[in-house]
Amino acid sequence: MFKHILLATDGSPASEHAAQLAVGLARTHGARLTAVYVVDPYPYIGVGEINPMGYQAYMSAAQQQAAQAHAQVEELCKQGGTPVVLQARLVEDVGAASGIVQTAETEGADLVVLGSHGRTGIARLMLGSVSTKVVAESKVPVLVSR
């Protein structure tokens, strides 16, 4: 049924559960799996222009977190029965929901899997959750994991 599954990951417990579901679905359907980590735009525009070290530290930390999140998914892909083919993607300079939806389109995914809540915290109360935005904007089915 599914040929290419896009997993949105941020390393949170919710995205880890979503990863387990996505890997299981990919294994069952013989689908490819793409794990995407979206780096939010640098929040201190004025500071970054004055102090490029702040921007570099932010991006370095984000890349490390992405590598850890992708490593968790890769480990799940190796466990169990048939190994799952995994592609890791890092998307920068867009909001999380937009990055997920855009990556699903460009990668040709036919299913998006993501956790119901991740790193958004208080911003979620003011802006709405990432998962809600992805469900509203995605052109392909979205499986939201709790």
Sheet containing 32-39: order of strands? 86-92, 32-39, 4-8, 111-115, 142-145
This prediction has a pTM of: 0.87
The per-residue pLDDT for range 97-110, each reduced to its tens digit, is 999 999 999 999 99
| pLDDT top residue among 31 and 45 | 31
Average pLDDT, the chain: 87
* Of 124 and 79, the one with more pLDDT: 79
Mean pLDDT of 111-122: 74
Indicate if the pLDDT at residue 7 is higher than 90: yes
Mean pLDDT computed over 26-31: 94
HSE toward the beta carbon, residue 94, CA cutoff 13 A = 14
Strand 4-8 to 142-145 pairing: unpaired
CATH 3.40.190.10 fits 4-145, yes or no: no
pLDDT beyond 80 at 53:
no
Task: Yes or no: say if 23 and 73 are a contact pair by the CB < 8 Å rule.
Answer: yes
- Please tell me which residue, 11 or 46, carries the higher pLDDT value: 11
**pLDDT at residue 56 is higher than 90:** no
Amino acid identity of residue 25, one-letter, is: L
Residues of the chain with pLDDT > 90: what percent? Answer: 65
